């Protein structure tokens, strides 16, 4: 069943049908939120709030925009809210042991997981982190990212490029790689 059909069922009074949207989009939202806010607890809170806001506002949703994009925009705003609230807290990510950085690149695993990368993401400026996560955790085009973040496409491309450079430096990748 398409997102649109599910939304129509929800708007017709079947609130439980919303669970299909939650099941379908939760893993994607988790990839985005966890990597933007940096920890599971805040990520889950941001996702919960995003789904709840989407549910309450479903009557305003218009299908000229993909539901996934609409939901992502809400989620990114919730992540920003969480980050603003936690800004003064201690670092969200634990600091890396400098010695571990020596083998950070080699520590990646076959399934794509790269624990050290998850850690150093926190060292990126929030805008760069948000841009590179949206680009690759959700496979968005720069046009879609622009609609979601409100930033221009050229600015987003620049943020992603700078994020790569910063990550590379943080991971101490050898120049010959």
Where along the sequence are the contacts to another protein (CB under 8 A)? 10-13, 15-16, 18-19, 22-23, 26-31, 34-35, 40, 43-44, 47-48, 51-52, 55-60, 62, 64-65, 73, 105, 108, 111-114, 117-118, 132-133, 135-137, 139, 143, 146-150, 152-154, 161, 164-165, 167-168, 173, 177
Our CA angle for 172, 30, 91, nearest 5°, is 50
Beta carbon of residue 71, minimum distance to another protein (angstroms, whole number): 12
Distance CA 141, CA 170 (A): 26
CA 123 to chain centre: 16
Beta carbon of residue 95, minimum distance to another protein (angstroms, whole number): 20
22 vs 88, beta carbon nearer another protein: 22
The CA–CA distances, whole Å, from 146 to 19, 72, 153 equal 28, 12, 6
Beta carbon of residue 103, minimum distance to another protein (angstroms, whole number): 14
φ, ψ of residue 139 to 5 degrees: the values are 55, 40
Distance CA 97, CA 120 (A): 11
Beta carbon of residue 44, minimum distance to another protein (angstroms, whole number): 5
- Count, residues in the chain: 177
88 vs 129, beta carbon nearer another protein: 129
58 vs 96, beta carbon nearer another protein: 58
91 vs 108, beta carbon nearer another protein: 108
88 vs 152, beta carbon nearer another protein: 152
The CA–CA distances, whole Å, from 35 to 48, 93, 130, 144 equal 16, 11, 8, 19
Beta carbon of residue 27, minimum distance to another protein (angstroms, whole number): 3
Contact 58, 4 (CB under 8 A): no
């Amino acid at each position: 069943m398409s997102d649109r059909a599910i939304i129509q069922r929800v708007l017709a009074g079947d609130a439980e049908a919303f669970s299909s949207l939650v099941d379908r989009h939760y893993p994607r939202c988790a990839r985005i939120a966890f990597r933007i806010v940096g920890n599971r607890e805040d990520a889950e809170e941001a996702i919960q709030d995003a789904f709840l806001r989407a549910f309450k506002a479903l009557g305003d949703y218009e299908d000229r925009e993909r539901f996934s994009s609409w939901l992502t925009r809400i989620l990114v705003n919730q992540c920003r809210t969480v980050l603003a609230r936690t800004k003064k807290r201690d670092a969200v990510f634990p600091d890396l042991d400098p010695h571990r950085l020596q083998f950070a690149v080699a520590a990646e695993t076959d399934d794509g997981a790269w624990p050290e990368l998850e850690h150093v993401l926190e060292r990126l400026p929030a805008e760069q982190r948000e841009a590179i996560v949206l680009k690759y955790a959700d496979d968005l085009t720069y046009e879609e990212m622009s609609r979601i973040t409100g930033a221009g496409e050229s600015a987003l491309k620049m943020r992603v490029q700078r994020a790569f450079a910063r990550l590379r430096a943080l991971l101490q990748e050898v120049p010959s790689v």
